[in-house]
Amino acid sequence: MATTTESVSELCAGAKRASRVLATLDTKTKNGALEAIAIALEQRTAEIIEANALDLEAGREAEIGDALLDRLALDERRIAAMAAGVRAIIALPDPVGEVLDGFRRPNGLEIRKVLVPLGVIAVVYEARPNVTIDAAALCLKSGNAVVLRGSSSARHSTAVLAGIAAEAAGAAGVPEAAITLIQGRGREELAELATQTAQIDLIIPRGGEGLKAALAEHATVPVIYAASGNCHVYVDSSAELGMARRIVLNAKVQRPGVCNAAETLLVHRDVAAAFLPEVAQELAQAGVELRGDELACELARPAVLVPANSTDWDTEYLSLTLAVGVVDSLANAIAHIAAHGSGHSEAIVTRDHRAARRFQHEVDAACVYVNASTRFTDGGEFGMGAEIGNSTQKLHARGPIGLRELCSSKYLIEGDGQIRS
């Protein structure tokens, strides 16, 4: 792994050189490097946990909160899951060279459109050390060099993970500069990274609105924003209420500090009186603070809801807090989501086929669910092995960013002497 004694520009230039080699490697070599990374993670688990403990101690002293501490924490189970995620990527088809289209022109030219690596991808992330391995593994398999820039809150964890990945991949025939870590220079290094247009082909940030704003201010390199998730679950008038309760509980409680957790519950007026008291009690027993509109507060009794204010509908809580609203119709639910959603993941619980199809067609989000929890928006759950993030943009990737989303395309044209007249 390249060291941070070099400048940002020098590190990125090294990654660019490594990307040219990496793009030519065959699948066997790339998979061998990935297996080496998985083995190294398992063998050096104690070292990773020791480094992570330093970050957790600093996080507690800084009072960063339970949600961020949960994102930051690594243990044997999570490290084993990282290794399993790497092996899941090994099992996936190599996208590089895949033929997307092919045809022969009347003049005899043979034209193929194939997938190719993007080149060098910079991944900027906050308090999620596991992203180090997910990003490195996905980029390696898709033939891309990766420049990693973690946050100060995870600096010990990120450093040891990036070092392990680069060392293991290097021993397996991949240039060590293909996995490059940049950290330790403060916010100015982010601005410098964001302007490396000659060396970096794409930046993918994973973090809060502050990180996105900082990149938007400086970036001249293309950016795919792995954005925040103000996700909704809408319980329709025809919903099976037992199913709805299970989905709402899972979407909110199973892991509240992640971007695919539900932040708002919308309930059709026709079932609100029957549904809200019981689900509110279950949520409260799970430690969830409920903030409701006037009708939700009334219909949820005897459960007690805190009156919601105007900002609650736009807040990604990332904690055990849930906004609750009652709507008069499916159209009102869709309109509420359009006004307040972030385009990440939205769900409807319904037995009405037409309502389900309308929700799917009219809700503008990367992932739209019918009768399932929003918590499934994840590269691993989608069979991608892992993900670098979830894009809420529409160009060039949307939803979980996996192997294919880290590729571009080019046309390969073969002739036998044709010239244009």
Query: What is the spatial distance between Cα 264 and Cα 361, in angstroms, rounded to a whole number?
Result: 20
Please give the Cα distance from 201 to 24 (Å, whole number).
17
DSSP state of 351: S
Structure confidence at residue 210 (pLDDT) = 81
- Same domain, residue pair 264 and 194: no
Instruction: Map tokens 């490290």 to a residue.
Output: 79
Name which of 291, 318, 317 is nearest 303 in CA terms. Answer: 291
Residue reference for tokens 């990496």: 22
d(CA 142, CA 145): 9
Q: Are residues 36 and 146 in the same domain?
A: yes
Question: pLDDT tens, 122-164?
Answer: 999 988 899 999 999 999 999 999 999 998 999 999 999 999 9
Give which of 130, 119, 125 is closest to 162, Cα–Cα: 130
Indicate whether 383 belongs to any domain.
no
244 and 179, same domain (yes or no)? no
Q: What is the pLDDT of residue 227?
A: 64
Domain membership of residue 2 (yes or no) is no
Structure tokens at 22: 């990496």
Determine the angle formed by the axes of helices 27-43 and 76-90, rounding to 10 degrees: 170
Whether residues 255 and 356 share a domain: the answer is yes
Token reading at 110: 């043979």
168-187 tens-digit pLDDT: 999 999 998 999 999 876 77
Distance separating alpha carbons of residues 370 and 347, to the nearest angstrom: 6
- Pick from 195, 199, 228, 196: nearest CA to 211: 228
User: Are 152 and 283 within one domain?
Assistant: no
Is 369 buried (19+), middle (13-18) or exposed (0-12) by CB count in 10 A? buried
pLDDT of residue 211 exceeding 90: no
Q: Are residues 333 and 192 in the same domain?
A: no
* Structural domain count, the chain: 2
Question: How many C-beta atoms lie closer than 10 Å to residue 214's C-beta?
Answer: 17
- Give the phi and the psi of residue 409 in degrees, each rounded to 5: -140, 160
Same domain for 57 and 199: yes
Q: Is the pTM of this model over 0.75?
A: yes
User: Is residue 124 in a domain?
Assistant: yes
pLDDT score, position 6: 85
Compute the C-alpha angle 314/286/248, nearest 5°: 55
421 within a domain of the structure (yes/no): no
List, for residues 371-420, the tens digit of each pLDDT value.
Answer: 999 999 998 899 888 888 899 888 889 999 999 999 999 999 999 999 99
Residues listed for the chain: 421
According to the model, what pLDDT value does residue 286 have? 97
Contact call for residues 104 and 413 (beta carbons, < 8 A): no
Confirm whether 182 is domain-assigned. yes
**Domain range holding 20?**
8-226+388-414
CATH code assigned at 289: 3.40.309.10
Helical H segments across 91-154, by residue range: 130-141
Would you say residue 359 has pLDDT above 70? yes
Contact 2, 181 (CB under 8 A): yes
| E-assigned strand segments in 89-156 | 99-104, 110-117, 120-125, 145-149
Task: State the pLDDT at residue 385.
Answer: 81
Q: Is residue 96 situated within a structural domain?
A: yes
303 and 279 Cβ atoms separated by less than 8 Å: no
Q: Residues 24, 170: one domain?
A: yes
Q: Is the pLDDT of residue 69 over 60?
A: yes
Check whether residue 129 and residue 251 sit in a common domain: no
Q: In what order do the strands lie in the sheet with 99-104?
A: 99-104, 110-117, 407-414
**Strand 407-414 with 231-235, pairing:** unpaired
Q: Among 61-65, 185-189, 352-356, 405-409, which stretch is predicted with the lowest mean pLDDT?
A: 185-189
**Concatenated DSSP letters for 401-421?**
--TGGGEEEEEEEE-SS----
Rounded CA separation 4/347 (Å): 44
* 1 occurs within a structural domain: no
Of the listed ranges 293-297, 304-308, 381-385, the one predicted with least confidence: 381-385
Q: What is the pLDDT of residue 4?
A: 52
- The whole-number pLDDT of residue 216 equals 87
Q: Which element (helix H / strand E) includes 268?
A: strand 262-268
Q: Are residues 290 and 362 located together in one domain of the fold?
A: yes
DSSP H helices in 148-218: 155-171, 187-193, 209-218
Nearest residue to 373 (alpha-carbon basis) of 228, 227, 234: 234
Looking at every residue in the chain, the average pLDDT score rounds to 94
pLDDT at 339: 98
Number of H helices, E strands in the chain: 14, 16
Of 403, 418, 269, residue with least CA distance to 332: 269
Tell me whether residue 381 is in a domain.
no
**Mean pLDDT, residues 234-254:** 98
Q: Are residues 142 and 279 located together in one domain of the fold?
A: no
